Structure 1
């Protein structure tokens, strides 16, 4: 195998073909490659060291460890989900369409965005926009403003959901047991299981107590010593 320099001399070859009228249209890349020709050195050059390395210097640690990246939204997310842990229980769709979903939202209009379900991320992005674009707004005040919008929309969703359920039941719909009813059924089953276990434990303790009394041997009655001495004296 040898070293091939033909790809590096493509601009020179194209110029010769154009001079010979074999190529009539100038390629679009010709000027760029002619101004900045590719390197003909197959090895990567060493970096230029401005100062001589010290023989007593220690080797740098964590040279190949990736840099820890911190975003301003990270702290805002921790604060929100620390105050609203049940928001993590709501299912979310994290799949993006084309990777440009951030261009389709405008957080200046509020927490609610078209095509995006209401979640804690809406509060975080709204709070960040208020902090960066509204003057004299602190992190706490922006958090309160975004939460107020979020609570109003959550309450509106709950009202709409209850009304939809009531309207559906009026026309004969059946939704089965609610979450509270399922929890009560599980609690009743656990209570019945505990009652059986407690009854078995009581019976076991009673059997052990009866067994302890049956092992006692009844001794014959003996006359009192004082009575015997009294009789002898008489």
Structure 2
């Protein structure tokens, strides 16, 4: 029996069980399957395979039926940006489900947004806006967006450093940064390794010295 026939038989049996009251409560999949029943597309699929085999005779069926990679126009910009700026991927981000509608929600005639943190996606959307509205080539639009990104990053760094200096001037005390803590832990580990190495070296020298004394006495 074909899979389509099996599914229709299951639908019929489930309907009878629901009508007779043997099964109480409609299964979660029932309405979805009724609204979109399986189709008998085997013949169409076989025809497509034959056409693909004729077009690509050297490829196996497994490779022919492999799903195609979905690549969007903006993926090229994302790939280029993060390959040139890998450290941007280490910046903390709010992990929430997004709807990928930043291009509609914000005004990308400027890179800086009020309700969105500056990141690689900002560069992507700004590049697309420049390409579409200014008639620029993709590489030229990306170059403009990238330079604007650098300017805003410098501005953010200066503002953060200025705020920290003002806070220290008024008596604020900041804890050590992750980098400072990491450097201290690394220095501590190196010092411990140096102490152990010196101890092992002294023990080895004392052993060799004792063995040399014994040979001299002989």
Aligned equivalents of 2:105, 2:64: Cα separation in 1 = 39
1:194–1:43 distance in 2 versus 1, CA, 3 Å:
closer
- Alpha-carbon offset, residue 97 of structure 1: 6.0
Alignment partner of 1:127 is 2:127: yes
Say which SS state the counterpart of residue 210 (structure 1) adopts.
Answer: helix
Q: Deviations over 1:50-70 (max 9, x none)?
A: 9xx89x988844565432111
How many angstroms does 1:124 deviate by? Answer: 1.6
Distance across 2 between alignment mates of 1:104 and 1:47 = 44
Question: What does 1:95-114 correspond to in 2, within 5 Å?
Answer: 95-96=96-97, 100-107=101-108, 109-114=109-114
Q: Is the 8 A contact 2:103 2:125 kept in 1?
A: no
- Structure with the largest fraction of helix: 2
Moved over 6 A (4+): 56-59
Q: Which runs of 5+ in 2 are unaligned?
A: 1-8, 13-37
Is the 8 Å Cα contact of residues 126 and 145 (structure 2) preserved in structure 1?
yes
RMSD: 3.4
Residue 169 of structure 2 is aligned to residue 174 of structure 1: no
Pick closer, same or farther for the CA change 1:184–1:150 going to 2, 3 Å: same
Unaligned stretches of 5+ in structure 1?
Answer: 4-41, 220-234
- Alignment correspondent of 1:88: 89
Count of matched residue pairs: 175
TM-score (norm 1): 0.62
Query: C-alpha offsets along residues 79-109 of structure 1, whole Å, 9 cap, x if unaligned?
Result: 11111111111012352466644421122x1
Shift of 1:149: 0.8
Between the aligned partners of 1:212 and 1:204, the Cα distance in structure 2 is: 12
Return the index of the structure with the highest Cα Rg: 1
1:66 aligns with 2:67: yes
